[in-house]
Structure 1
Amino acid sequence: MISCILKTKHNIFFAFLLSFIVSFGAFAQGASEQAEVATRGVEPGATEGASEAGAAADPAVLDAGEALFKNNCAACHSAGSDVVVGPGLQGVTERHDEAWLLRWIKNSQSLVQSGDAEAVAVYNEYNKQAMPSFAFSDDEVKSILAFIESGQGVAQAPAAGPEGAVAGENVGQDAVGAVGGYLDIILVVLIIVLIVLVVTLLLISSVLKNYLNKNRQLDAYDAEIVNQRFDLSKIYKSKAVRTLVVLIFVVVLLDLSLDKVMGVGIQQGYQPRQPIAFSHKIHAGDNQINCNYCHTTVYKSRSASIPSANICMNCHSQIKTESPEIQKIYRAVERNRPIEWVRIHNLPDLAYFNHSQHTQVGGIECQTCHGPIQEMDVVYQYSPLTMGWCINCHRETPLNTEGNAYYDNLVKLHEASSKGAFTVASNGGTECSKCHY
């Protein structure tokens, strides 16, 4: 019995080694997964201190005005007092009457050419920069003015994305990050407990050995077992240890090989150098220019479109004209040649994706797939854009079916057969023909 007890100390090292390898591997994996969770923004809150006119306006009118302002006006004007290309619009309804504003916003150049004193004064004050004409109805212009009067555009945080989007929100990522953090803490505690346990067992073995040597009459066999020394050579000569080492090596090799194979065609993190150093942080973040202003077809076409040099010139004919990077735009315009931007997000030809179906119909914000784009000086591919990533989003994203009679019967059938939410997958969003046909 004594020999059995004492032999335990020779097995402690193997148990500790194996447990530590397994625990450390799990800990590293959990830390890696947590590191991949993207940083999220916070949705800006409602503004305080709105004017009485703005507060009294219909929320639907304010929403319409906000969308029109951000899509058409925010590139050249702030809703506050800051001057961008044109004047800040805070208090514009106090400086000019409504009838004049309707004429000015629809066709400013016509008003200037008519000799209107106010129009000529504004035109001359801001370096004779012509404001584009807008085919807005009177109601649309009034909704923009109501939004400006409400003061909501002034209090929005500079880092907010287009249309007050939540920056870079991915389905389920918050829960993954929280769980990963708890698992890391648990694993660290388990490793500490394991170390304490091993040290305790070694101390007990040492005390028991001393006790047996001093107070017991041991036969030759027991005395040899009690007083034997730890032989390291037996560790690496042991078949069990060699088998374990080979097994660990094979598992690691297979894991690395599988990661490489599964990563073929995935360009997450791809960040090419562009011909012009364009900063989304400055344009979409600091200046809050809506994505739709440059990517003009993002809400109405399969492709988001690449902005032409003419769109850049709307602002940069007056702003930072001496910048070496802006000079590159001038040269492209002079040569009548497009700027050769490097494409970052690529899907295989066998996969069909429609921007308008997601942004216009689904109401998905740009940051959901492209990450915190308003914080990027140099754009990189934020999401993996794999089939599994898309399918998981379809499985977890609920459909907004309110007010759409098309979904009424589908929702009833879904509720009768399932307790979960009515998601994109519930409407056939995971069928192969949706993306491959």
Structure 2
Amino acid sequence: MIKRKNNALVPYLLSYPLLIIYLTFLTLFASQANVYAQEGDSGISTDPAIIAQGKTMFEENCRACHAVDRKVVGPALKEVYNRKDLAWITAFVQNSQKVIESGDQYAVDLYNEYNKTVMTPFPFLKDEDVAAIVAYIKDQTENAAVAEVAEGGEGAEVAAADEGSIPSNYLTAILVGLLIVLILILAVLGLIISVLTKYLREKKDLDEIDREVVEQKFGLEKVLKSPGFLGIVVFIFTAIVVKTIIDGLYTVGVQQGYAPTQPIAFSHEIHAGQYEIDCNYCHTGVTKSKNANIPSANICMNCHSAIKTESEEIKKIYAALDYDVATNQYGPNQKPIEWVRVHNLPDLAYFNHSQHVNVGGIECQTCHGPIEEMAVVRQYSNLTMGWCIDCHRKTDVNTVGNEYYDKLVELHDSKDALKVKDIGGLECSKCHY
């Protein structure tokens, strides 16, 4: 029998969704924690998510010196988990010199075998990171043939590049999914309340207190003040705030879409698109310099000393050059045009246009987008470090006709194309001084 006199039935039942949501999150966190418990007899995880995570970290940190099936700079890692236990492997990866100095015989033998070369320490790799790498090595060892086919496709590279972050659209989908689940729960509870109330009203043996609870009318004010409703509101508000903060953090320093107003309206759509003027004609440093350089006004005058001389925008160039159209003479009061820079990399990042355009053969549109269609130049790509690294992972090195790479291609000895990451494209010092 129901013994609640002062609490309304509907608000009481509406307090359950919050409890269900909390239990859902606890279940999610518990399942995430149990991922590391999904291990085989060797104590190494067989969970696909852990293996995928291990593959990403192996590609980023280990592949330059190690392969699973063959000796490269360091030993082949096939069945390394059978040679030493996971704790030893973790200690060696994080600081191999410390293990060697401890007198460990296996570590000392490796040190002597490889000409007393100490492996680069990886102190930033946590124990679970190393465990994930070992899980990937074990998977590659046991499924070598399948893994070889899988790694040959572009999809595997893209998947590896996307590991380690939760895009904003995923967070939005999660929140929408939770909201839909909450609405369904409320609908089910409403149906249960309706059926239960109808059933109780038909009973003849209810005492006065129970009858009072059953006969009470739905009160919106009571629902709005109920702990369940307030908890739901707080939860939704907190989720929106957290998502907004995360979205904001992802956009710090990102100027994608930035299109400032320039002192002179210049249209790439007309020049590069309609008249098909080569980018190199104006941006003369793109094949031989770190910077592509902003064209000087003299380059503009190669055409506009005779073309569209009546244009108000062209007259701004004349004013900057102190140029007299009638006499075709330049005066002494010249001043630079104060163009607004569109693409800005942080000072700590090094980028060389000539290396990418002249050596790498990268098209302008790869980074700058359909520049030939832009009436006003905007930053097309986000130019984040992750964006650059993803490009280095997927882009083939242009080795044709370049003797510099001949020996490197021979040493690479793989049916796969040589990627930028294979020639140090993921090394920190490549882009950071």
Residue 371 (structure 2) aligns with: 373
What SS class does the counterpart of residue 202 from structure 2 fall into?
Answer: helix
Q: Is contact 1:9–1:205 with CA below 8 Å preserved after alignment?
A: no
Q: How does 1:121-136 map to 2 (within 5 A)?
A: none
Instruction: Give aligned-pair identity as a percent.
Output: 56
Residue identity matched to 2:359: V
Using the TM superposition, give the Cα deviation of residue 183 of structure 1 relative to its aligned residue in structure 2, in angstroms.
10
1-structure distance, mates of 2:2, 2:400 = 76
Residue 407 (structure 1) aligns with: 408
Residue 158 (structure 1) aligns with: none
Q: Is contact 2:260–2:378 with CA below 8 Å preserved after alignment?
A: yes
1:98-157 deviation line (CA, Å, top 9, x unaligned): xxxxxxxxxxxxxxxxxxxxxxxxxxxxxxxxxxxxxxxxxxxxxxxxxxxxxxxxxxxx
- Given candidates 258, 265, 268, the residue that maps to 1:280 is 268
Q: How does 1:185-264 map to 2 (within 5 A)?
A: 195=183, 198-199=186-187, 201-214=189-202, 216-232=204-220, 252-253=240-241, 256=244, 263-264=251-252
Please say which of residues 350-359 and 387-396 is displaced more in the overlay: 387-396
Using the TM superposition, give the Cα deviation of residue 391 of structure 1 relative to its aligned residue in structure 2, in angstroms.
2.1
- Given candidates 421, 424, 428, the residue that maps to 1:425 is 421
Indicate the RMSD between aligned Cα atoms, in angstroms: 4.4
Q: Is contact 1:3–1:226 with CA below 8 Å preserved after alignment?
A: no
Q: Is contact 1:278–1:377 with CA below 8 Å preserved after alignment?
A: yes
Residue 359 (structure 1) aligns with: 357
Residue 328 (structure 1) aligns with: 316
Q: Tell me if 1:341 matches 2:339.
A: yes
Q: How does 1:12-411 map to 2 (within 5 A)?
A: 12=14, 15=17, 195=183, 198-199=186-187, 201-214=189-202, 216-232=204-220, 252-253=240-241, 256=244, 263-333=251-321, 334=323, 335=331, 336-401=334-399, 404-411=405-412
2-structure distance, mates of 1:17, 1:422 = 54
What SS class does the counterpart of residue 331 from structure 1 fall into?
Answer: helix
Residue identity matched to 1:372: P
2-structure distance, mates of 1:208, 1:247 = 28
In 2 relative to 1, CA 263–183 (structure 1 residues): closer, same or farther, beyond 3 Å?
closer
Using the TM superposition, give the Cα deviation of residue 323 of structure 1 relative to its aligned residue in structure 2, in angstroms.
0.7
Using the TM superposition, give the Cα deviation of residue 405 of structure 1 relative to its aligned residue in structure 2, in angstroms.
1.6
Q: Is contact 2:10–2:218 with CA below 8 Å preserved after alignment?
A: no
What SS class does the counterpart of residue 390 from structure 2 fall into?
Answer: helix
Residue 103 (structure 1) aligns with: none
Residue identity matched to 2:298: N
- Bigger relative contact order, structure 1 or 2, given CA contacts below 8 A and separation 6+? 1
Using the TM superposition, give the Cα deviation of residue 304 of structure 1 relative to its aligned residue in structure 2, in angstroms.
0.7
Using the TM superposition, give the Cα deviation of residue 319 of structure 1 relative to its aligned residue in structure 2, in angstroms.
2.3
2-structure distance, mates of 1:196, 1:232 = 20
Please say which of residues 245-254 and 299-308 is displaced more in the overlay: 245-254
1:22-55 deviation line (CA, Å, top 9, x unaligned): 9xxxxxxxxxxxxxxxxxxxxxxxxxxxxxxxxx
2-structure distance, mates of 1:258, 1:182 = 12
Residue 122 (structure 2) aligns with: none
In 2 relative to 1, CA 199–264 (structure 1 residues): closer, same or farther, beyond 3 Å?
closer
In 2 relative to 1, CA 223–237 (structure 1 residues): closer, same or farther, beyond 3 Å?
same
Residue identity matched to 2:419: T
2-structure distance, mates of 1:250, 1:201 = 24
Residue 94 (structure 1) aligns with: none
2-structure distance, mates of 1:238, 1:197 = 17
1-structure distance, mates of 2:418, 2:409 = 11
Residue identity matched to 1:281: E
2-structure distance, mates of 1:339, 1:400 = 37
1-structure distance, mates of 2:307, 2:275 = 13
2-structure distance, mates of 1:235, 1:348 = 53
1-structure distance, mates of 2:311, 2:367 = 32
In 2 relative to 1, CA 192–258 (structure 1 residues): closer, same or farther, beyond 3 Å?
closer
In 2 relative to 1, CA 374–12 (structure 1 residues): closer, same or farther, beyond 3 Å?
farther
Question: Structure 1 stretches of 5 or more lacking a match?
Answer: 23-170
Q: Is contact 2:14–2:228 with CA below 8 Å preserved after alignment?
A: no
Using the TM superposition, give the Cα deviation of residue 328 of structure 1 relative to its aligned residue in structure 2, in angstroms.
1.7
Count, aligned residues? 278
1:154-177 deviation line (CA, Å, top 9, x unaligned): xxxxxxxxxxxxxxxxx969x99x
Using the TM superposition, give the Cα deviation of residue 2 of structure 1 relative to its aligned residue in structure 2, in angstroms.
7.7
Residue identity matched to 2:291: S
2-structure distance, mates of 1:222, 1:306 = 83
Please say which of residues 421-430 and 236-245 is displaced more in the overlay: 236-245
Using the TM superposition, give the Cα deviation of residue 394 of structure 1 relative to its aligned residue in structure 2, in angstroms.
1.9
Q: Is contact 1:282–1:377 with CA below 8 Å preserved after alignment?
A: yes
Residue identity matched to 1:276: I
What SS class does the counterpart of residue 389 from structure 1 fall into?
Answer: helix
TM-score (norm 2): 0.52
Residue identity matched to 1:290: D
2-structure distance, mates of 1:381, 1:355 = 16
2-structure distance, mates of 1:332, 1:264 = 36
In 2 relative to 1, CA 10–421 (structure 1 residues): closer, same or farther, beyond 3 Å?
farther
Residue identity matched to 1:406: K
2-structure distance, mates of 1:7, 1:260 = 42
Residue identity matched to 1:341: W
Using the TM superposition, give the Cα deviation of residue 432 of structure 1 relative to its aligned residue in structure 2, in angstroms.
1.2
2-structure distance, mates of 1:190, 1:172 = 28
